[in-house]
Amino acid sequence: MPWQPKDLMDIKREFVELALRPGANRRELCRRFGIGPKTAYALLARHAQEGPAALQQRSRRPHHSPARTPAEMEQAILTLRATNPSWGGRKLARRLLDLGYSGVPSPSTVTAILQRHGLISAQASQAAQRWQRFEHEAPNVLWQIDFKGYFQTGMGKCHPLTLLDDHSRFNLALAACQRPDTPSVQEHLKTVFRRYGLPVRINADNGSPWGSPSGVEHGLSELSVWLIRQGIRVSHSSPYHPQTNGKLERFHRSLKAEVLNGRSFDSLVHAQQAFERWREVYNLERPHEALAMCTPVQRYECSPRPYTDKLAPIEYSPNDVVLTVDWNGLVKYRGRKFKVSNALHRLPIALRADPADDGCFDVFFCHQRFMRLDMSKKMTSN
């Protein structure tokens, strides 16, 4: 029977004192103290050699640990962690395997090594919980685009433009822009389209330069009109719900943690150099837990839809009522004027009658339905 834990050192001392008295019945003492003779005689032997130090609690840790992670591997983990201080055990373990290391320990062991070296707290490990995310079934079905606020450089503001493929999390663009305006976005998108092709749909936030369906322009900004003419469907996040672009929001957190925090940049060029270095790590090296520890490039492939600088002519069905948008984004129909978008000036739109609702029309620009017109009531946006 083992020693009782309460006041263990005092109990051991008392037992030794009594057992060392002349004529002491040690077997009886063992019974009364609730310990086995073998344990008692081992303690008395240590006391004879070490004196009072024998009463101290001894570690049960083995002198040799054959299963302990080799020092070389532990150092490789710490080196990779130093290069990527925000990576946890799962990412580090997967990256070491990708680099060709053998004998890589499990992610939980890597986490324990980080904890032992004070690089990650136990509370942080417990807080890192997995959850199921929705994703589209193939690359280029949906891209998410936005600006990540702005920060100051030595030569003015930098507005990071970010573009992410929903299926693969592949970062298609990470650009240091001087202004968050249509010309900047359009030029960067042309570069992306030439390299990766065209997506089926792009989802953006509300407001400039993206447009807002709840606004007077019904979501048709100059930028969205250009995208629609490329054959791309344009959608917008729900107001006050950034989760709609959740993968991009998560990308922004990683960008902030791994690139922006604690850094200053002399210029947009300096910031862009840092962006490009990190983008390569993010796309090609950094394992993603949401991708079963694959890298984004392993899940991404270019779109089969090529980009061309020449816009295709706008065509509608013979049954559509086709109208040309006038100044100030106004259109006249059946003696009434209604507002569509200034960005559609001199462009044709189509009114498509709803066969189930007399007097109601869905209003289209190219393939995109953007509002509904009820000739008996006020117009409502899509």
Whether 61 is covered by a domain: the verdict is no
Tens-place pLDDT, residues 207-227: 889 988 888 888 899 999 999
**C-alpha distances in Å from residue 324, one per residue of 215, 333, 349, 368, 380:** 21, 11, 6, 16, 20
What is the residue range of 375's domain? 321-381
278 and 225 share a domain? yes
Please say if the pLDDT value at position 62 is more than 70. no
Query: Cis peptide before 107, with omega less than 30 degrees from 0?
Result: no
Q: How confident is the model at residue 362 (pLDDT cuts 50, 70, 90)?
A: very high
Among 252, 269, 2, residue whose Cα is nearest residue 158: 269
151 and 251 share a domain? yes
Whether 134 is covered by a domain: the verdict is no
Tokens 């290391």 map to which residue? 101
Instruction: Tell me how many degrees the CA angle 332-319-217 measures, rounded to the nearest 5.
Output: 40
Tens-place pLDDT, residues 135-191: 667 899 999 999 998 999 999 999 999 999 999 999 999 999 999 999 999 999 999
364 and 249 share a domain? no
Q: Count of domains in the chain?
A: 4
178 and 114 share a domain? no
196 and 279 share a domain? yes
- The one-character DSSP state at 189 is H
Beta strand 368-374 pairing with 380-381: antiparallel
**C-alpha distances in Å from residue 282, one per residue of 30, 109, 209, 317:** 65, 24, 27, 45
Structure tokens at 168: 């693969």
- Whether the CB-CB separation of 171 and 183 falls below 8 Å is answered with no
Tell me the average pLDDT of the chain: 86
Whether 216 is covered by a domain: the verdict is yes
21 three-state secondary structure: coil
213 and 266 share a domain? yes
User: Rounded CA gap, 162 and 115, in Å?
Assistant: 33
184 and 221 share a domain? yes
What CATH number should be reported for the domain holding residue 251?
A: 3.30.420.10
160 and 272 share a domain? yes
Q: pLDDT exceeding 90 applies to what percent of the chain?
A: 49
User: Rounded CA gap, 200 and 197, in Å?
Assistant: 10
pTM of the model: 0.66
Structure tokens at 197: 């092709």
DSSP H helices in the chain: 8-19, 26-33, 37-50, 71-83, 89-98, 107-116, 122-127, 182-196, 222-229, 246-255, 268-284, 296-299
Dihedral angle sign, alpha carbons of residues 333, 336, 338, 342: positive
260 and 338 share a domain? no
Whether 315 is covered by a domain: the verdict is no
Non-local CB neighbours of 287 within 8 Å, separated by 6+ positions: 90, 91, 94, 95, 98, 293, 294, 295
284 and 148 share a domain? yes
267 and 147 share a domain? yes
Q: Using CB atoms within 10 A of its CB, is residue 315 exposed (0-12), middle (13-18) or buried (19+)?
A: exposed
Cα dihedral value 231, 236, 242, 245, nearest 10? -20
Q: pLDDT exceeding 70 applies to what percent of the chain?
A: 87
